[in-house]
Structure 1
Amino acid sequence: MIVYNVTIKVHESIKNEWLVWLKEEHIPEVIQTGCFTHATILRLLEVDESEGPTYAVQYHAESKALYNNYIENHSTRLREKSYQKWGNQFIAFRSVMQVVN
């Protein structure tokens, strides 16, 4: 199992609208690519929230090949949609992890 983790710091002025968009539009669109089985939204605690909250979204892929498919065929388009909608009101960084049991 591969976990694609996207950590996002969201500007205070858009936090509520952004979270609705994330849950109702963005995550379903990512899942519809067929590359991930599900996603989990987490809010980071014990971090500086003076400019807004920080979230982590963890997308779960059954294989590295499915994750690679997402990166090669879908990620650029979906990132661009995010920037078109929210501009510079958020900052995101990404990491890829493997589940170890």
Structure 2
Amino acid sequence: MFLYNVTTIVEDAAAERWLKWMEEVHIPQVMGTGKFVSHRLLRVLDSPNEGVTYCAQYVAAQMADYLDYQEKFAPALQADVNKHFENQFVAFRTLMEYID
């Protein structure tokens, strides 16, 4: 199992709109690709950064699912985030493997 984590720091002024968009549009689109078996969205409480920090986490059963997502779906979905929230956020992505 693999955990794809997207940490996003959103400007305070856009945070509420970003959260609603993630819950209603983006996460359903990511899950609709069929490449992930579950997801969760978390807010970081002790972030040292200005703005609001969130982590969107998606679980892939196989590395092939994650790689297929990155190749076929991620570019368009990331472009859509940029279109809606240009210059209002920064994001970084990590891939982790479950040990147990």
> What range describes the TM-score normalised by the shorter chain of this pair?
over 0.9
Where do 1:42-53 residues align within 5 Å? 42-49=42-49, 51-53=50-52
Match of 1:75 in 2: 74
Gaps of 5+ in 2: none
Q: TM-score normalised to the size of structure 1?
A: 0.95
- With the length of structure 2 as denominator, give the TM-score of the two structures: 0.96
After superposition, where does 1:19-58 map in structure 2 within 5 Å? 19-49=19-49, 51-58=50-57
The one-letter code sitting in structure 1 at the alignment partner of 2:96 is M
- Aligned partner of 1:86 in structure 2 is 85
Q: Secondary structure at the match of 1:3?
A: strand
Distance 2:74 2:46 in 1: 30
Distance apart, 1:48 and its partner CA: 2.5
Please give the alpha-carbon distance, in whole angstroms, between the structure 2 residues aligned to 1:53 and 1:85. Answer: 17
Shift of residue 55, structure 1, vs aligned partner: 0.6
Shift, 1:8, TM fit: 0.2
Query: Identity rate of aligned residues, in percent?
Result: 39
Q: CA deviation at 1:87?
A: 0.2
Question: What is the CA–CA distance in structure 2 between the aligned matches of 1:86 and 1:77, rounded to whole Å?
Answer: 14
Return the alpha-carbon distance in structure 2 between the equivalents of residues 95 and 13 of structure 1. Answer: 26
Is 2:7 the partner of 1:7? yes
- Partners in 2 of 1:16 and 1:26 — Cα distance? 14
**Could you list the runs of 4 or more consecutive aligned residues of structure 1 that deviate by over 6 angstroms after TM superposition?**
none
Aligned residues: 100
Q: Secondary structure at the match of 2:17?
A: helix
Paired residue secondary structure (1:87): coil
